[in-house]
Amino acid sequence: MKKIKEDILKAYHFRQAIKEFKEDKEISQEDFEFILETGRLSPSSMGWEPWKFLVVQNKALRQKLQEFSWGAKKQLPTASHFVILLARKANQMVPGSEYLHYMSKEIQNLPEEAEKMKQDFFGKFQENDFDLTDERKIFDWVCKQTYIPFANMMTAAAQIGIDSCPIEGFNREKIEAILKEEGVLDTNEFGVAVMVAFGYKKADLDWPKTRRPLEEVVQWIK
């Protein structure tokens, strides 16, 4: 058990926001499928899985995205794999929607009565507990959900010696317009939440983590 914990913490120390990757070193298909699987298996609120992962390997498309991705200027052309995490739009995430019916019926195998109870409960949660009462609030809440697989994939990558970089530095409207024009994004169903690049770092970057001390971050209430 101690060794497992040491290995996990080692991965967290290993993970850094890498700005540039070795262009001639590819992540194997087996390793990247493992990374994607950790994203797929990630938890989500009420198990709705309100996300989709776009793995952008097309160089021409990456070049188009680069113009409006100030936080990925070096990562887009050099990363072995580049993932854009999409979040479902509000019309997909309200009780009675086709998507929630599909998830309840086809994926979660709920009987009709249980599905109705779950969707009714979800509606009350949205309205009463989290104030998810307009399209923007719902979309922002869904974007928060995507950060769970987002983080899990980076941690999984670090555990097998693969580098990554989380990216929020982009113009969402411009990026969505490009993806829509390319025919890979239906903006009625999805919006862009966040990006992440994977690969092997170009330089031997090895600096210590700069994090606040645990006693400053954690407050115990006993």
Residue pLDDT, tens place only, 64-104? 999 999 999 999 999 999 999 999 999 999 999 999 999 99
- pLDDT, mean over the chain: 96
Residue pLDDT, tens place only, 21-41:
999 999 999 999 999 999 999
Which regions of the chain are under pLDDT 70? 205-206
Tell how far CA 3 is from the center of its chain: 28
Q: What is the pLDDT of residue 205?
A: 67
> In degrees, to the nearest 5, what angle opens at C-alpha 101 toward C-alphas 99 and 107?
85
pTM of this prediction? 0.96
- What are the structure tokens assigned to 27, written together? 């992540």
CA separation, residue 220 to residues 9, 212, 214, 215 (Å):
22, 16, 11, 9
CB atoms within 10 A of CB 44: 15
- Classify burial at 71, counting beta carbons within 10 Å of its beta carbon; exposed 0-12, middle 13-18, buried 19 or more: middle
CA 145 – CA 213 distance, rounded (Å):
27
